[in-house]
């Protein structure tokens, strides 16, 4: 027994001395892994992981690094500007005292010739737009177009030389937990930079108005305060991955949650505004809702997934593609759909005439179909920018009742889709969903009927109608 202990002790001492000697006399090795044509060195590693492990390790390492944001800040800040929107008196001469009412925020230069993307709510209260660059140069901008459904607007300035541009990154590649920067230019303080992580994707916070609104925000904990709206959400490569749009707050200041429109959606909106003046919005032609646990059990789903179709518009792309009420959409063009905001964002990137591959569940079985998107008038053709109609001038968006609605409600009429902020209609306290049956005691059955009555009316206008889920008639009046 005693000899056994002596032998064991000798073995342990020998092993210890061998390890110490190897560490002292040998130099640390370097493993060089080549991926995508670049070299990345990992010093001090004595063993190379296998191929599968190395690729996965590389991707995880790149997505979470660096934690030094100086390069990203240096790349992005020159392309972030301050925007001041003012409303002039319009009197001119000796009576022009400047401007009354103003709002300000930030914007992002996306082309060297002067296109700037910002939030619609930054510029909506003004008619003159002053842009101050990061180097303090000042310009007067022209409004190219705006979209209330995504809160995005596009401005244009005329610089004497090419401007610094922020490259647009891929917001789809963002991962929850990834570092991002919020870059703004508030109150002409030059660019301000804050850091945080992606807290969630596909968030809806119910701040936008209109039937066609798209809320699929990137949520971060990067500090965003008043004046930073319209600024850039930037990844660690200095690429634009979102436009900072909103915060959730009780105090009016940042309290931990900020929200950005994903760059994938922004890029599509900007392209449409630049080339058409309006957004080419492709419509599936369905009403949608979330799939709850109870609804999943009711429909016989194996798990809670997808978005349920609550109605299908007659002659729409969805109708022609064979989709029905209570079908559950689970994928579009191979992209999994789990929430209403996710579906809205995916569809929002396409235009009338585009064909989508829809995967859906009906009666517990999976099916696929092709759906051709249509515009708001249920046509495949692209939308054409038009001058404001009388309805838009006074502040609401209208559509004709569908055949199903006429049958269900047993009436003709015109449906109020949305009410514009700070408009004559908003001041009447009318809500979306109001169904107009008469204008100044004249029966109206279509949007054209209403426009005709509004065009020939001067002074007081009286609207008569009802809400589907509330008893009785409702009356609203305003002056043109």
Note the residue count of the chain: 480
Contact indicator for 307, 284 with CB cutoff of 8 Å: no
Tokens of 197: 């992580």
Contact indicator for 121, 149 with CB cutoff of 8 Å: no
**Which residue in the list 121, 272, 418, 449 is annotated as catalytic?**
121
Residue 68 bears catalytic tag? no
Report how far residue 480's alpha carbon sits from residue 475's, in angstroms, rounded to the nearest whole number: 16
Query: CB 138: neighbour CB atoms within 10 A?
Result: 13
Residue 276 bears catalytic tag? no
Tokens of 144: 């190219």
Residue 387 bears catalytic tag? no
Q: What are phi and psi of 475, to 5 degrees?
A: -125, 135
Report how far residue 262's alpha carbon sits from residue 243's, in angstroms, rounded to the nearest whole number: 7
Report how far residue 124's alpha carbon sits from residue 103's, in angstroms, rounded to the nearest whole number: 9
Query: CB 208: neighbour CB atoms within 10 A?
Result: 20
Query: CB 180: neighbour CB atoms within 10 A?
Result: 26
**Which residue in the list 191, 199, 229, 263 is annotated as catalytic?**
229
**Which residue in the list 147, 151, 383, 449 is annotated as catalytic?**
151
State the pairing for strand pair 307-312/328-332: antiparallel
Angle between helices 263-276 and 340-348 (to 10 degrees): 40
Residues tagged active-site:
121, 151, 229
């Amino acid at each position: 027994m005693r000899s056994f202990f002596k032998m064991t002790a000798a073995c342990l001492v020998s092993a210890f001395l061998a390890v110490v000697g190897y560490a002292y006399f040998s130099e640390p090795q370097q493993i060089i892994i080549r991926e995508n044509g670049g070299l990345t060195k990992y010093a001090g590693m004595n063993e190379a992981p296998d191929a599968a492990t190395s690729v996965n390790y590389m991707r995880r390492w790149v997505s979470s690094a660096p934690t030094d944001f100086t390069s990203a800040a240096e790349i992005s800040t020159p392309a972030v500007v301050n925007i001041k929107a003012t409303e002039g008196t319009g009197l001119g001469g000796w009576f022009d005292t400047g401007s009354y009412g103003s709002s300000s925020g930030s914007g992002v230069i996306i082309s060297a010739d002067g296109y700037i993307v910002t939030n619609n709510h930054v510029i909506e209260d003004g008619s003159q737009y002053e842009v101050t660059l990061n180097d303090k140069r000042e310009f007067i901008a022209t409004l190219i177009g705006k979209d209330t459904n995504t809160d995005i607007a596009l401005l244009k300035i005329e610089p004497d030389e090419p401007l610094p541009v922020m490259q647009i990154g891929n917001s789809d590649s963002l991962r929850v937990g990834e570092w991002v920067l919020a870059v703004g230019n508030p109150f002409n303080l030059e660019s301000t930079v804050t850091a945080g992580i992606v807290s969630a994707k596909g968030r809806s916070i119910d701040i936008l108005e209109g039937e066609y609104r798209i809320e699929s925000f990137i949520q971060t904990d990067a500090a965003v305060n008043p004046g930073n709206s319209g600024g850039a959400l930037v990844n660690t490569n200095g690429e634009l991955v979102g436009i900072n749009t909103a915060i959730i707050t009780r105090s009016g200041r940042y309290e931990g949650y900020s929200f950005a429109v994903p760059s994938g959606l922004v890029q599509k909106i900007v392209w449409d505004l630049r080339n058409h003046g309006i957004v080419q919005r492709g419509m599936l032609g369905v009403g949608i809702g979330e799939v709850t646990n109870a609804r999943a059990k009711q429909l016989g789903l194996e798990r809670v997934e997808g978005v349920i179709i609550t109605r299908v518009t007659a002659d729409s792309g969805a109708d022609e593609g064979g989709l029905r009420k209570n079908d559950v959409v689970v994928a579009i063009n191979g992209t999994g759909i789990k929430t209403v905001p996710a579906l809205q964002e995916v569809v929002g990137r396409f235009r009338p005439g585009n064909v989508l591959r829809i995967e859906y569940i009906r009666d517990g079985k999976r099916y696929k179909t092709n759906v051709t998107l249509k515009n708001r008038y249920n046509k495949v053709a692209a939308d054409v920018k038009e001058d404001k109609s009388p309805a838009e001038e006074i502040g609401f968006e209208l559509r004709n009742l569908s055949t199903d609605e006429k049958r269900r409600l047993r009436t003709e009429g015109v449906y109020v889709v949305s009410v514009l902020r700070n408009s004559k209609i908003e001041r009447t306290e009318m809500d979306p969903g109001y169904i107009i049956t008469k204008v100044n005691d004249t029966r109206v059955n279509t949007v054209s009927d209403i426009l005709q009555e509004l065009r020939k009316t001067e002074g007081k206008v009286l609207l008569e109608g009802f809400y589907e889920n509330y008893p009785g008639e409702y009356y609203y009046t305003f002056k043109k």
